[in-house]
Structure 1
Amino acid sequence: MERKYAVLVVDMLNDFVTGALKCDRGLAIVPKTVELLKGCREKGIPVIFCNDAHLKGIDHELKLWGDHAIAGTRGAEVIPELELSDKDYVVPKRRYSGFFHTDLDLLLKELGVDTVVITGLHAHMCVRHTSADAYQLGYDIVVPKDATDSFTEEDYNMGIRYLKEVYGAEITDVDSFLASL
């Protein structure tokens, strides 16, 4: 049976790459993420941005991380290098997971998706929690290891290992994934 993919781009936002919660390692994954999105868009694979869009002074996560990705601000916008397209989808989120109290699952079901390709920041937090919910909802998971990262190498390795061992995520790289399509 042929897989029906969608790419989930988690928190590749100005505040995470260059702003309030800047992750220098996030800059390193931009070229491979651009390559992945270009290849998937050419193949008609949906691209869905799962973006923090916090409510200032309200969201629980802000207590731990401080103000970042506040809805309606430049910090909550997708980095320009990823060239958000009018054919892409944007799912705002207020917690780590792209699924938690959002319509991501409904969108994926309406698109007929059975396999999510999860990219972005951070492998041990938002990518991990989005993967957890994807797994619980019955989606297969693919993680291109060169299109996701974390604040540190240790956090990244822990996150990738956890995704593989606990959710059975297929760990690959962008070139191998695109070649498999």
Structure 2
Amino acid sequence: MRALLSIDYTFDFVADEGRLTTGAAGQAIEAALVARTQAFIEAGEYVVFAIDRHEETDNYHPENRLFPPHNLAGSAGRHLYGRLAPLYETYQEAPNVYWIDKRHYSAFSGTDLDIRLRERGITELYLTGVCTDICVLHTAVDAYNLGYQLVIDADTVASFDAVGHEWALRHFENTLGAKIISAKEEA
């Protein structure tokens, strides 16, 4: 069985005005990411929205020293970006759609994600979202260490660092054994 993880495709990470934006690179994957997510939801497959959540008053989180404040609780920055937002709103009550607030790069760190996936017999994960070389990468490493098979659709991941993005795609395939696919090639 398989599931799709939609990682951090939010206003702060994608919109031009976002606090830690991937900008054009993140915006360019919107159609493919939304199509892949919708296909999983409508097929009844498990879809997890793993979304960064930080507290404005948390002075202890290590990301606060590395990045500007982003995806703050209660802010518009945490809203899903573009056409992913109405897709989520349409299906948020569906039994195969789940939202996880995460505090760290990896969707597995400090969440119940692994338990929920194992309860459903899921062994294969499709990873989508941003940033390829940060949150998607750390989620992939944890998934690999937990024994999941990985699939990365290169058309549904992006970063604000083009070199880091390309490096991460090679790392997924060559070090984690992930299958790299392209929605464009499947069409």
TM over 0.5: yes
Q: Match of 1:16?
A: 13
Residue 81 of structure 1 aligns with an amino acid whose one-letter code is: R
Residue 168 of structure 1 aligns with an amino acid whose one-letter code is: G
Aligned residues: CA RMSD: 1.4
2:26 is equivalent to residue 29 of structure 1: no
Superposition deviation, residue 40 in structure 1: 1.2
Superposition deviation, residue 146 in structure 1: 0.3
Pairing 1:25-174 to 2, within 5 Å after superposition: 25-58=25-58, 59-82=61-84, 83-84=87-88, 85-86=91-92, 87=94, 88-174=97-183
Partners of 1:122 and 1:149 within 8 A in 2? yes
SS in 2 for 1:113: coil
SS in 1 for 2:122: coil
Higher mean displacement: 53-62 or 10-19: 53-62
Q: TM-score, normalised by structure 2?
A: 0.89
Superposition deviation, residue 39 in structure 1: 1.3
Aligned length: 175
Structure 1 gap ranges (5+): none
C-alpha separation between the residues in 2 aligned to 1:111 and 1:14?
Answer: 30
C-alpha separation between the residues in 2 aligned to 1:111 and 1:79?
Answer: 28
Structure 2 gap ranges (5+): none
Higher mean displacement: 166-175 or 143-152: 166-175
Superposition deviation, residue 174 in structure 1: 2.5
1:80-120 Cα deviation digits (max 9, x unpaired): 41121212211111110000011111111122210010011
Partners of 1:35 and 1:174 within 8 A in 2? no
C-alpha separation between the residues in 1 aligned to 2:13 and 2:161?
Answer: 14
Partners of 2:22 and 2:158 within 8 A in 1? no
Partners of 1:62 and 1:68 within 8 A in 2? no
Identity, % of aligned positions:
34
Superposition deviation, residue 23 in structure 1: 1.3
